[in-house]
Structures are given as C-alpha cells and as structure tokens.
Amino acid sequence: MLAAAHRLRRRADFAATVRGGRRASKGALVVHMLVPGVRHPGDDSEPARPVEPTPPRAGFVVSRAVGGATVRNLVKRRLRHLMRERIAAFPSGTTLVVRALPLASSRTFPQMEKDLDEALARATAARRR
C-alpha cells in the first residue's frame, strides 16, 4: 500500500499535474509528472515561491471504461503497490498522476509493471531535456 503522505487526494492537485506536467504513455498507462521548479513548455506563469518540501506524491485515475468496480479496484491496488516501490526515486515535491486506459483490465501484473516503468522513464527523460 502507498503511504498516505505519498498520495494525491485533492482534485486541484490532480488537475494541476495533468495540465502542467509532462505526459508519457506506454501500453495501458498514461503518466503525468509535474516537478516543482522545472519550467514546462507553454508555462508562462510566475516562478513558484519556495515552500516547505513535501514528499513526492502520486494519484491514480481509473475510469469506468476500464471495467466494473471490482476490476477498477484491482487495477488501482496494483498501481499503488507498484508505485510504492518507485515513489522514493522522485525529487521532493514531485506529483504524478497515473491514468489507466481500458486495456489495463486485461494486463497481467508483470505487463502493468513494465508499462509503468517505461512510462515513468519516458516522463523522466522528457523532463531532463
């Protein structure tokens, strides 16, 4: 289970990450990553004021298109478990939104793990450019 301190909960946090972060997809997953202090293309806003460091946080979006409640909960549990092992690798203040596509319902755990790793690698690589 992903610790409560590492979870995105507020709608505004999800929206800010999806709107302002880097997007990368692989297979059944789409990852949006927002790293504080990194300017993204099209971001004309003022630089953020320094704030108290927060741990990296992740949120998950699994819509009804993925399947019924049982399937959606299974996909969310798998994603939380996979992210728990990876969240510490991100800089403080990073927010991630992982969106599951309908294909996620038929993915095995190893396939989902591979999709997540590749999507995170793409989002991180795009950030470093």
pLDDT digits 0-9 by tens, 20-74:
999 999 999 999 999 987 555 555 555 555 556 789 999 999 999 999 999 999 9
- What 63-66 contacts at long range (C-beta under 8 Å, 24+ apart), as own/partner pairs, is 63/100, 65/101, 65/102, 66/100, 66/101, 66/102, 66/104, 66/105
Q: Predicted confidence band at 128 (pLDDT cuts at 50, 70, 90)?
A: low
For the chain, the domains span: 4-37+55-124
CATH of the domain spanning 4-37+55-124, picked from 3.30.230.10, 2.60.40.420, 2.70.150.10, 3.40.50.2000: 3.30.230.10
84 neighbors 116 (Cβ within 8 angstroms): no
| Prediction pTM value | 0.84
